[in-house]
Amino acid sequence: MLEAIIEIIIKTAVIMAFPLGALPLIIHVERRGAAFIQKRVGPNRVGPFGLLQPLADVAKFMFKEEVHPSHVRPFFYSAAPLIALVVALLPLACIPIMGPFQFFDRTVYPEVFRSDMGIFFAFAASALGSYGILLAGWASNNKYTMLGALRACAQMVSYELSLSTAVVAMIFIFGTNDIHLMVDWQTGYWFGFIPKWGVFVQPVAAMLFLVGIFAESNRLPFDLAEGESEIVAGYHLEYSSMKFAIFFMAEYVHMIALSALFIIMFFGGYSVLPGLDLIPLSNPFILPLLQVTSLTIKIALMIWFFVWVRWTFPRFRYDQLMNLGWERLLPLGIVNLIITVLFVYFRNQ
Amino acid sequence: MSSIYYYLAGFLFTLGLLGTIFKKDLISILLCLELMMGGVSLLIILFSRSTGLLDAQLLVFFMIIVSACEVAIGLSLIIALHRKKQTIYTDDIKIITE
Amino acid sequence: MEFLSFVIFLILATALGLILMFISNLLGQKKKTVRKNDIYESGVNPVGSATRQYDIKFFLTAILFLLFDVEIVFLLPWAIAYNNATNTGFLIAGFVFFMAVLLVGYIFVINSKALKWEE
Amino acid sequence: MAYDILLTIMTMVFALMVVFSKKTVVAAFSLLMTLLSIAMIYFQLGTVFLAAIQVLVNAGAIAILFVFVMMLINLEQFQNNRERSKSKLIISILTTLIILGVFSLIINNNIEVLSAVNISDNSMKTLFDKLFTEYYLPFEMATVLLLAALVACIVITGSEKGIKQEQEKLQENLNE
């Protein structure tokens, strides 16, 4: 029993340290990436290449005064960032960072919470993501925050629909809801050189999912919740110091978790990248190591893509955003699903 | 073993029922109805576990759908009522027509 | 076992958040002023209260999301069941009917302009 | 066993908060927490699929709907302090007694709950097989029900005229 508990705690620590440890680096990449795209220098004073800048920021957040305005609803005002962070971390519980491996005499599964319903669990948890925002907006008792929260929620739920259609299409293709089996399905090559990734089977679903991630994590071009010109900072306007930083963290963790799910469904999850699989497996620990490396590289590329898009596209208008979600992406998802199902059925006839 | 859950289901149902009787505004009444729904579906799940029949689980699956429809229509009615009469209290609604 | 791992994960995640919030509470300075506690409204004095009526479009979006979400959640078990089924024709017939109903609902929603936001 | 008691207490506290909280938004969030705890009970009982559906549909969507309505209808003007009649108190005590009696009957009949371990992953497949053979017609009819609900909601609230009326009123409120 104690052994099992220790195992779970280690797994939890690893999976939580993965996004939270990478966070300073991601923020640095985001800033330097922006500078690179806009032909600026970017933060370069603190440490070599400005690498210590995010740490300095963390220290600043810690020592800042926690302004607790008098007009807020105190309990929910404090609870909202906590809820946002916990809910953002939840999907990570069933995301495997490597395949099941032999540890001495038994098979260890890397995910904290192993179930054949893992993927459902992850999506259910990410559907709860809007509550932290809604609570923050309501508890702050300010017009801007309330409006920002309503906007963010309406946007998140709208894009969740097209995202779910993409998930249904992929689960239909894989024929399973077990994440490890999904990854197994995607291991190997077509014609000897094209990796068997889901994105080549369902490009439309991949596109829908990708747009869904942007909208769900409130990133530009969909960050209407924080439209500075209209509602200042949106739902976390009245927050300061670490509470603000927690919202910030939650947003990034949510983004990483959704990217990991995207990679599991469309880019082969932890399956070894082409090129890396040429390394001979002389030791049983090499394969898990390669798998973790592959997943990390894939997620890093995704993050770079996010940064790239952020500094390339302007923000949408709200009516354009809702029209895109409801009148373009949702019918596209439904039609894609119908075509996929009928195609598979008639091919098997 | 988990027989404490039977009491919990009963408690939820009773609490929901009392809330429906006592509460005066329509939104609270809908919330209490939702609570009753939760109690009943928990009870059905418990029966399913005790008898080993899977049909009961499917019944809960359909119940969740029905409750979604119920809430959607109920809230629409509340909005329509509020638009017309500027109230959401059961006391203020005495005439059913108009 | 599954449940235990879930509970431990939840506890650790909550603990992480609480520790972070506690640190800044401990280290940060505390100096209250009247202006600092005011509602932020771009620097001018606050007008009215925040609990006012908001646009009905938000409600309509939520309600349509609920109903469409239920339908799409339906399809998840269907997609899994299809791959283990032998009577695929039967399942496909049901799927076509299902999708027809869904599309009718969707077309109704779009035609009613319930989701048309003002430009 | 510790889970049972913990989850039961958690659910009970949140359920009590639904009924007794003064603010309706707090009640809605308590309802969300109640539904989530019920989902955790499903999870603990081994019906993971239903737990996921419960979170996705009930907790994820219905509670959001409630909160949106509360933000839509300006609730501050309604204060929850109207008097309660005496006959209702009697009714409520009677109902409580009757329902508790029924439940003690059920429990005294020695209904044993199987432990969650007994259900293997296999049961999920059987469940889906059952859903898509025996219960396929109800499944399809549920879609029709959802369509009906959709049409009803839009006709009741979202017709063009209604929305225009609503927005004009909103504008008036803003101008005041």
- Is residue D174 predicted with pLDDT exceeding 70? no
List of residues 6+ apart from C45 with CB closer than 8 A:
none
Residues of chain B whose pLDDT is less than 70? 1-2, 95-98
How confident is residue D147, by pLDDT bands cut at 50, 70 and 90?
very high
List of residues 6+ apart from A68 with CB closer than 8 A:
A74, A77, C37
Percentage of chain C exceeding pLDDT 90: 2
Question: Which residue in chain B is spatially nearest to C65 when comparing CA positions?
Answer: B72
Query: C114: distance to nearest CA of chain A, Å?
Result: 11
State how far the Cα of D167 lies from the Cα of A14, in Å rounded to an integer.
Answer: 51
Judge: D61–A125 Cβ closer than 8 Å, yes or no. Answer: no
What is the β-pairing status of strands A194-195 and A106-108?
unpaired
How confident is residue D1, by pLDDT bands cut at 50, 70 and 90?
low
β-bridge mates for residue A107, sequence order: A102
State how far the Cα of A67 lies from the Cα of A77, in Å rounded to an integer.
Answer: 12
**Cα torsion angle, D73, D77, D80, D85, sign:** negative
Q: Residue C28 half-sphere exposure, CB side, CA atoms within 13 Å? A: 22
How confident is residue D148, by pLDDT bands cut at 50, 70 and 90?
very high
Contact status, residue D13 vs residue D29, Cβ threshold 8 Å: no
Place of tokens 């995704």: A302
| pLDDT tens per residue, range A45-60 | 877 877 888 888 888 8
Q: How far is CA A42 from the centre of its chain?
A: 25
Rg value, chain D, Cα:
22
Contact status, residue C72 vs residue B77, Cβ threshold 8 Å: no
pLDDT value at residue D116: 45
A304-316: buried (b, 16+ CB within 10 Å) or exposed (e) per residue?
eebbeebeeeebb
* Mean pLDDT confidence for D139-162: 84
Query: C18: distance to nearest CA of chain A, Å?
Result: 7
Q: How far is CA A235 from CA A151, A214, B38, B62, D50, in A?
A: 9, 18, 31, 36, 32
Average pLDDT in chain C: 81
β-bridge mates for residue A194, sequence order: A190
pLDDT value at residue B40: 92
| pLDDT tens per residue, range C48-104 | 666 666 777 888 888 888 888 888 888 888 888 888 877 888 888 888 999 999 899
What single letter denotes the amino acid at residue A317? R
Place of tokens 């004009």: D168
Judge: A138–D67 Cβ closer than 8 Å, yes or no. Answer: yes
* Predicted interface score ipTM higher than 0.85: yes
Taking contacts as CB-CB distances below 8 angstroms, the residues of chain B near C63 are: 72, 75-76
State how far the Cα of C59 lies from the Cα of D67, in Å rounded to an integer.
Answer: 9
β-bridge mates for residue A108, sequence order: A101
State how far the Cα of A111 lies from the Cα of A15, in Å rounded to an integer.
Answer: 8
Judge: D103–B6 Cβ closer than 8 Å, yes or no. Answer: yes
Taking contacts as CB-CB distances below 8 angstroms, the residues of chain D near C70 are: 57, 61, 146
Contact status, residue D25 vs residue B25, Cβ threshold 8 Å: no
State how far the Cα of A182 lies from the Cα of A186, in Å rounded to an integer.
Answer: 7
Q: Does D71 touch chain B (CB under 8 A)?
A: no
* Mean pLDDT confidence for D25-40: 88
Report residue D24: phi and psi, to 5°. Answer: -70, -30
Strands (E), chain A: 101-103, 106-108, 189-190, 194-195
What single letter denotes the amino acid at residue D155? V
Class at the top of the CATH hierarchy for domain C2-111? mainly alpha
Crossing angle for the helix pair A53-63 and A241-266, to the nearest 10 degrees: 140
Domains and CATH numbers, chain B: 4-85 (1.10.287.3510)
D1-78 adopts what CATH topology? Answer: Four Helix Bundle (Hemerythrin (Met), subunit A) (1.20.120)
CB atoms within 10 A of CB D53: 26
Q: Under DSSP, is residue C114 helix (H, G, I), strand (E, B) or coil?
A: coil
Crossing angle for the helix pair A143-174 and A330-348, to the nearest 10 degrees: 10
| pLDDT tens per residue, range D100-142 | 777 777 666 655 554 444 554 457 777 888 888 888 888 888 8
Q: Under DSSP, is residue D84 helix (H, G, I), strand (E, B) or coil?
A: coil
| pLDDT tens per residue, range C28-61 | 777 777 777 777 776 677 766 666 667 778 888 8
List of residues 6+ apart from A91 with CB closer than 8 A:
A121, A122, A123, A125, A126, A257, A258, A261
| pLDDT tens per residue, range A163-180 | 889 989 988 888 888 888
Query: C112: distance to nearest CA of chain D, Å?
Result: 7
Domain with CATH 1.20.120.1200 in chain D: 1-78
* Mean pLDDT confidence for A292-310: 89
State how far the Cα of D14 lies from the Cα of D41, in Å rounded to an integer.
Answer: 14
- Those of residues 28-87 in C touching chain B at CB distance below 8 A are 56, 59, 63, 66-67, 70, 74
Q: Do chains C and D touch (3 or more CB pairs under 8 A)?
A: yes
